[in-house]
Amino acid sequence: MKITNVMYLPSGRIFLINVDNYIIEATEMRDVSVDGKQHIEVRETNDPHVIWKHLVEYKEKWLLTVSTQRGCTHSCQFCDVAKLPFRGNLTQNEIEAQVRLILENTPHVKESRKVKIGFARMGEPAWNLNNVIGAMKNLPMISNELGRQFRWLPCFNSILPRKADCISAVVETKERDFKGFLHFQISCNSTNEEKRKELFGGADVLSIEEIIKQINNINITKRTVTLNFIVIDGVEVSVKKLKKMGLNKDKFTVKLIPLNNTLIAQENDLKTYANYSNYEKLLQLRTSFEQEGIPVVVDAIAKCEEAGLCCGQLAQIFQ
Ligand code: SF4
């Protein structure tokens, strides 16, 4: 495994890594602090200097992602990984090696209160569960070996394919091994199940109602489970439906994310519901969740980082 290319964004880097002649991606980014007026400035700028001014210190937060598969078996209509060929799971060693590569190439980051690592760059981690969970558990060992003082926050991001049946294993790892300090994020994207299936390229995934039922019956501490909605023009996101399904504010948070301008989204004629020019629409949607007492966050990225941040886009170029 070796790095073949490194692409720079204002807030971090994307590593293109060759594993047995297949290019996978891993990333390291700093968070961008955004408040009030600065938020608009940061979101809409094309000037990296503006981003640099608002970067969060590594010692506060550092954001990493690693790939879990060579490509992905799914064909989500919004994700450029779907355009790459699928060449199987990465081993636990190969997942851990990406973490080592990032750390070795960032020797100046010695300590951090929160290193959030998404096992979600390329691949659906539910299909590689044991290797992903094994790698998560070894994170403290890896950082100790490399002389870093990190508090890890692993993130398991999944569309929850029905047959992969991973909810209990992920929650058990969260509660038992990470004392609740693991972020479980579930892709939802629409409250209309037919539309969801279409967006996931026909994948047989657990319905949101089934997800809510299962999670409501499990003990969840510290980090709540996040239901991610990439907001797409003309695609239903109904707060009322979610309430009716039993969405419990002590177990769940909703995250609203503008649709990135991916190549495949363009091909499928998907447009974001809101982003840079009409950001207030996103805030209105946020308010409708807040009014129902549902914890909600908005996760928008800066315009000038959008291209490189889309999973699988660079790998396509360098394959
Ligand atoms: S969103 Fe996830 S599951 Fe869907 S194609 Fe991309 S990597 Fe695969």
Q: Please tell me if the CB atom of residue 76 comes closer than 6 angstroms to any atom of ligand 1.
A: yes
CA 41 – CA 34 distance, rounded (Å)? 9
Q: Which single residue is written with the structure tokens 């990032």?
A: 102
Q: Does the CB atom of residue 305 touch ligand 1 within 6 A?
A: no
CA of 296 from ligand 1 middle (Å) equals 23
Regarding the beta carbon of 126 and ligand 1, being less than 6 Å apart is answered no
Amino acid in position 111: E
Q: What is the mean pLDDT of each run of 10 residues along the chain (319 residues)?
A: 92 95 96 71 78 90 97 96 96 98 97 97 97 98 98 98 96 97 98 98 98 96 96 96 95 94 92 85 94 91 70 82
CB 22 within 8 A of CB 4: no
- Confidence at residue 308, expressed as pLDDT on a 0 to 100 scale: 66
252-258 and 296-298 beta bridge pairing: parallel
Q: What is the dihedral of CA 99, 103, 106, 111, to 10 degrees?
A: 120
- Distances in Å between the Cα of 56 and the Cα atoms of 43, 133, 138 are 15, 28, 26
Q: Name the nearest CA neighbour of 133 among 167, 85, 161, 103.
A: 167
Ligand 1 close to Cβ of residue 72 (< 6 A)? yes
Residue-wise DSSP of 110-131: -EEEEEEEES-SSS-GGGGHHH
Q: Is the CB of 159 under 6 A from ligand 1?
A: yes
| Nearest atom in ligand 1 to 82's CA | 5
Residue 69 one-letter amino acid: Q
What pLDDT is stored for residue 183 in this prediction? 97
Measured in Å, residue 276 CA sits from the centre of ligand 1 at 24
Prediction pTM value: 0.94
Report the pLDDT value the prediction gives residue 53, as an integer from 0 to 100: 83
Distance CA 84, CA 241 (A): 35
β-bridge pairing 296-298 and 111-118: unpaired
**Distances, alpha carbon 75 to alpha carbons 78, 99, 197, 226, 265, in Å:** 9, 26, 11, 22, 11
Question: 231 in ligand 1 pocket by Cβ < 6 Å?
Answer: no
